[in-house]
Amino acid sequence: MQRNQSSSFYLGVDGGGSKCKAVVVNHDLEILGSAVAGPANPCVDYQLAIHSITESCSQALAEAGLSQQQHQIELGLALAGVNFENVFQRVNEWSHPYHSMRLITDWHAACLGAHEGKDGAVVIVGTGSCGYVCVDGHSKSFGGHGFPVGDKGSGAWLGLQAVKAALLAKDEMGPATLLMDKLCESLSCKPEELAIRMVGASSAHYAQLAKTVFAANKDGDEQAARILREATDYIEAMLASILKYQPPRLSFVGGITPFLVPLLNSELRERISRPLANPEMGAVYALLKNNR
């Protein structure tokens, strides 16, 4: 069957632990609408994820003046957590209202976006951390196992290390640090309230504390410097593994990027290029790769 390409529209979605972004484009990749909705990590809350995806898509389509009833909408859905096979299967069986759906990991979408659908690699350092390389049809991920077992160097990891160091210093069982003051300021709490404030905290909550580590490091705090050294050691080791695959381009994405990249060694820094497009556009590129 010959597809009438001009009547197709592409919906690109990138969902993760804190938000879900959607973009609608036509066949010429002109952006017709976009929207942001709530958390969409199916490992954390499947129903909420589906709700956020639906909401972001509906809003983006409304902005574009399109509806899934009247137009042929193809959904490129990039989600955190679908690297796990059982999570992938569950989301992939979702009876979505669109013409078709392609489900990929958020890492894959970030990589496709950063290099406009071409080969390359990304290091994602946001709430979580992960490396992803895609060369000659082969792809491989590094890290990205989730918090707290993985995600070293990420915002959540940095926040957790800050709290740990502050509590050790408070108990006089670890070196003195400025981190307690920074954390208490950030959380508007007293030192004795810090631990209870963090009971059951989500990775997104920990990630909000990452800025205390960069601030304390700027003020010459040795514990903050130690934490950032451990983070950059890990990210540099990840980069060494990634570069063995000789990706033609390498980008960093995620909220921690502007703070962490300047701390990497200069030889590695020179290899980094800016992302050409965002992950939700990456999800659209995944559709085009399928179709063309």
Q: How far apart are CA 179 and CA 79, in angstroms?
A: 33
Among 60, 61, 180, 198, binds its own copies (CB under 8 A): 198
Residue 113 near residue 277, CB atoms below 8 Å? yes
For its own copies, the binding residues in 32-61 under the rule CB under 8 A are 43-44
Q: Alpha helix locations (H) across the chain?
A: 46-64, 85-92, 106-114, 155-170, 179-187, 194-198, 203-207, 210-218, 222-243, 257-260, 266-269, 279-291
Can you state the angle between helices 85-92 and 46-64, rounded to 10 degrees?
Answer: 50
Which letter, b or e, does each residue of 214-239 get, where b requires 16 or more Cβ atoms within 10 Å of its Cβ?
Answer: bbbbeeebebbebbbeebbebbbebb
CB of 192 to its own copies, least distance (A): 8
- Comparing CB distances to its own copies, the nearer of 137 and 200 is 200
**Torsion angle of C-alpha atoms 269, 123, 240, 165, degrees rounded to 10:** 90
User: Is 148 a binder of its own copies (CB under 8 A)?
Assistant: yes
- Comparing CB distances to its own copies, the nearer of 72 and 202 is 202
User: Is 164 a binder of its own copies (CB under 8 A)?
Assistant: yes
User: Is 146 a binder of its own copies (CB under 8 A)?
Assistant: yes
Residue 169 near residue 223, CB atoms below 8 Å? yes
- Comparing CB distances to its own copies, the nearer of 156 and 277 is 156
Residue 138 near residue 238, CB atoms below 8 Å? no
User: Is 86 a binder of its own copies (CB under 8 A)?
Assistant: yes
User: Is 200 a binder of its own copies (CB under 8 A)?
Assistant: yes
- Comparing CB distances to its own copies, the nearer of 209 and 281 is 209
Would you give the binding string for its own copies spanning residues 235-264, x where CB under 8 A is met? --xx--x-----------------------
Residues found near its own copies in the complex (CB under 8 A)? 43-44, 84-87, 142-143, 145-146, 148-150, 160, 163-164, 167, 171-173, 192-196, 198-200, 234, 237-238, 241
